[in-house]
Every structure is written in C-alpha cells, then in structure tokens.
Structure 1
C-alpha cells in the first residue's frame, strides 16, 4: 500500500466528488419498476413484458399488483435473467405439478 504524500493532497476534493457521485447513484437505485421501466431495464418491449408476466414471471415473486399497478422487483428480475436459462417457465412447472396430482 502506498502512502499519501503532500503532492497528492490537491486530489482530495476530486476523490470526495467521485465518492459523492457514487453514493448518490447507489442510493438512487430503485428496487420496484413499472412496466415501462422494466421494459427499458431488460431491453424488451412493453408487450413482451406482459407476455413474460403471463408465461414466465410469478405473481408475488417477480411482480406485484398494487392499486391497479404492476410493480416488478428488480432483484428478482436480475435473478430471472441470471438463472432463467437453467430453469423451466413457471407455467411448465405448474402444469407438471398439476399433472402429477391428477
């Protein structure tokens, strides 16, 4: 680890400014996204988000309905993107469970 010398003291305001910028970006990150924000975040159209809501997303996990609005959980969307290639769609899972029960 290098020591701080007097020649670099003039860089302290720049470092503080960068830390403040990073802090505001981290604290300003939203967890709950509406349909438009979800479409933008995932890079899909709004129509495709509604299709995913019907076929792949699970109510109460990936999204919630509050006062007539759909709110998508950004953390669960990240998990879905990361792991969706290794898992089946929610409807396929439900259909298999129901088939086994009947």
Structure 2
C-alpha cells in the first residue's frame, strides 16, 4: 500500500484531536441531578419529572440513590438523539410486563 507523505503527517494531527476529545469526555460530569438535567436538556424541573414518569426508564436513564434522583447523561443523550416509532419504549415495556404478569 502506498501512502503519500502528507497523509502520514495528518495521522498525528488526527491522534491529537482524538486525545483532546477523549480528555473532554472524561472530564465532563456523567451523573446529573434534576436541576442539572433540566439545564442540560433545556426543560424545566417539573417537565423533567414528567419525562421521568412517562418516557424515561429507571435503571437506564436515571437511578434513585439515597433519596436522590441521578440522571445518566450518556443515556439522556441517547434518548434525545434516538427517534422512536409511535410507541415509545416505556409503553412497550409496560405492555410486555402486563402480558407477562
């Protein structure tokens, strides 16, 4: 395989940018309280609680720990960027659980 010398120089630049991205990701806070989650998503705290009850799944999107609710930022990102069909995941899971029980 023949690679141009100019392309080899770009590899170091790409690796440097990847390292910068990794440092940024690792340096950010992953677990958000309700206030932080509302700021991050651009919703009110009341709306975050409504989303928690209707669309978000405990044990995936948020966790209850010592009387506090902590939201997983990575899962919130996935939830925001994933489009669902007419039936959202929570209602699908509820119907499956009802069928089992």
- Same fold by TM-score, threshold 0.5 exceeded? yes
Cα distance in 2 between the residues matched to 1:65 and 1:99: 23
Is it true that 1:28 corresponds to 2:27 in the alignment?
A: yes
* Structure 2: gaps spanning 5 or more residues: 1-5, 7-16
Query: Is the 2:56–2:90 Cα contact (8 Å) retained in structure 1?
Result: no
C-alpha separation between the residues in 1 aligned to 2:100 and 2:43? 36
Equivalent in the alignment of 1:61: 60
SS in 1 for 2:92: helix
Aligned counterpart, 2:3: none
The answer to whether the 8 Å contact 1:55/1:89 transfers is no
Max radius of gyration: which structure? 1
Structure 2 matches for 1:8-27, cutoff 5 A? 26=24, 27=26
Q: CA deviation at 1:54?
A: 0.3
Q: CA deviation at 1:97?
A: 1.6
Aligned partners of 1:95 and 1:64: how far apart in 2?
Answer: 18
Counterpart check, 1:86 vs 2:77: no
Task: State the TM-score, normalizing by the size of structure 1.
Answer: 0.67
Q: How many residues align?
A: 82
Distance 1:82 1:100, change over 3 A: same
Q: Give yes or no for the alignment of 1:47 onto 2:72.
A: no
Alignment partners' CA distance in 1, 2:64 and 2:46: 17
Q: Return the alpha-carbon distance in structure 2 between the equivalents of residues 96 and 39 of structure 1.
A: 28
Query: What RMSD over aligned residues (CA atoms) do the two structures have, in Å?
Result: 2.4
Structure 1 residue ranges, 4+ long, deviating more than 3 angstroms after superposition: 98-102
